[in-house]
């Protein structure tokens, strides 16, 4: 019994190290990218265009609770004269692919998050209303979707179904955020 506890503890330590290494790597790449490009430079943001929306959305949802502005990229693109539906689609695709990180952690075994109250609550939601939970929580900006992805992986929710449902939720969110931000930018410029 003692040996199984130690091997399980060792596995959790490995997961913590891998998770932290991933977060630090993504964060470092993002910070260097922002500093080199000049985050306040509008021309730099225009230069990123559609690929920037996709990449920042991917990094934002794959960063596991790390504050990378995927939504900010979608919102910022709304003021750059880009096609808002395309912006929403690219944000949806990027965020869906990024959510595979949480799914993989859950599918791979125990996670450091499984003992958290929020994880247990989300897992009950997934067991009871799997598809609805995925769709609703993917469609609204919230910090708990990482728990949903981990729970879906741990419950062996079918990957294809996970990707399809999450994509439609993220697509709705991306298009909604793009149009909302476009409206806000238009309204502010109208005032000024």
pLDDT of residue 22: 58
C-alpha span between 7 and 3 (Å, rounded): 6
Q: What is the pLDDT along the chain (192 residues), one digit of tens a residue?
A: 555 655 555 655 565 565 556 556 656 665 665 555 555 555 666 667 888 888 888 877 776 655 456 777 787 777 777 899 999 999 999 999 988 888 888 887 655 666 677 777 878 888 888 889 899 989 998 877 888 888 888 888 899 999 999 999 999 999 999 999 888 878 876 665
The rounded radius of gyration (Å) of the Cα atoms in the chain is 18
pTM: 0.72
Kindly give the residue spans of alpha helices, DSSP state H, lying in 42-116.
42-62, 70-77, 84-98, 100-108
49: buried, middle or exposed (CB in 10 Å: 19+, 13-18, 0-12)? middle
Kindly give the residue spans of alpha helices, DSSP state H, lying in the chain.
2-37, 42-62, 70-77, 84-98, 100-108, 117-139, 145-154, 159-191
pLDDT of residue 175: 94
pLDDT of residue 107: 80
Contacts of residues 4-11 at CB distance under 8 Å and 24 or more positions apart, as own/partner, are 8/110, 11/109, 11/110
Q: Where are the domains of the chain?
A: 2-191
pLDDT of residue 114: 62
Q: Which two tokens stand for residue 163?
A: 């990707």
């Amino acid at each position: 019994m003692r040996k199984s506890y130690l091997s399980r503890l060792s596995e959790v330590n490995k997961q913590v190290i891998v998770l932290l290494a991933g977060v630090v790597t993504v964060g470092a790449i993002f910070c260097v990218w922002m500093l080199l490009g000049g985050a306040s430079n509008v021309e730099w943001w225009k230069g990123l265009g559609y690929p920037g929306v996709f990449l920042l959305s991917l990094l934002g949802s794959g960063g596991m609770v790390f504050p990378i502005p995927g939504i900010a990229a979608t919102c910022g693109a709304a003021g750059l004269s880009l096609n808002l539906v395309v912006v929403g689609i690219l944000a949806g695709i990027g965020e869906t692919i990024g959510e595979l990180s949480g799914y993989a952690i859950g599918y791979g075994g125990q996670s450091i998050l499984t003992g958290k109250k929020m994880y247990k609550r989300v897992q009950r939601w997934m067991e009871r209303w799997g598809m609805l939970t995925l769709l609703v929580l993917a469609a609204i900006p919230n910090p708990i979707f990482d728990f949903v992805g981990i729970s879906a992986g741990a419950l062996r929710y079918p990957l294809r179904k996970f990707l399809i449902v999450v994509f439609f939720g993220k697509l709705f969110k991306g298009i909604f955020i793009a149009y909302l931000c476009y409206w806000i930018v238009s309204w502010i410029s109208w005032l000024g």
